[in-house]
Homo-oligomer: A and B are copies of this chain.
Amino acid sequence: MGRPRTPLLDRRRIGAAALTLADEKGALTIPALARALGVAPSALYHHVSGRDEIISLMREELVRTTGADKVWAQPWESGLEDWARTYLSAFAAHPGAVPLLATAPLAEPFMHAMYEKVAALLVSGGFTADKVLPVITALESFVLGSALDLVAPSVMLSDVSRDTAPHLSSVLEHTPADPGRAARAFDIGLRALLTGFRDLLAP
């Protein structure tokens, strides 16, 4: 018997299936992933050593499909903005995987390659070495939270009473109830963060 031309499992399929599963269930277990792929858990272990490696494959798939490893522009402000926007799209496509990916250590060379580009951008922009990682981390936290907001309903506050919450009611009347709600909040927050980061450059 010849071997099948297309292997039933490969690392890329595992990464994509794990992303989908984490997205739908908010959690990832080896038995559930094996079920989703239609194989026995033992077959999975032919390809990956365990959960940590699966999370790496998820990251690889995310970075590969969205180009979040590219930091296009100089100077640092437009480069950081480009990176934040690509990163937002990547995570907004997989909101259920956000907590998993946000809390697993980053040991993968392709993730280091991405952070190397962002670090070089900030160092060349004049940030001192002790500020670079806190700035990257703060921006990532904002992007992760915004990705969750992007998949939330376009109207989050409803049935607000004018009697008990007059300021909030008035503010809501001035806030368009449309799908652009989360994107506008992201724009204002990103602009504010970049403005504030620039202040860290002051001598």
Contacts from A to B (Cβ < 8 Å): 25-27, 95-96, 98-100, 102-107, 109, 112-113, 115-116, 119-120, 123, 128-135, 137-146, 148-149, 151-153, 155-161, 164-168, 170-175, 181-182, 184-189, 191-197, 199-200
Contacts and interface: CB of A to CB of B under 8 A. Distances in A.
Given A99-B95, A99-B98, A188-B200, A141 B149 contact: yes
Given A113-B165, A134-B187, 6 more contacts: A102-B145, A115-B157, A119-B167, A132-B174, A137-B182, A196-B196
A185 B133 contact: yes
6 contacts: A103-B153, A109-B164, A116-B166, A129-B175, A140-B145, A145-B145
Contact of A133 (B95, B171, B192): B171
A160 to B, nearest CB: 5
Given A26-B25, A155-B105, A171-B123, A112 B149 contact: no
Nearest to A151: B103
B119 A168 contact: yes
B151 A116 contact: no
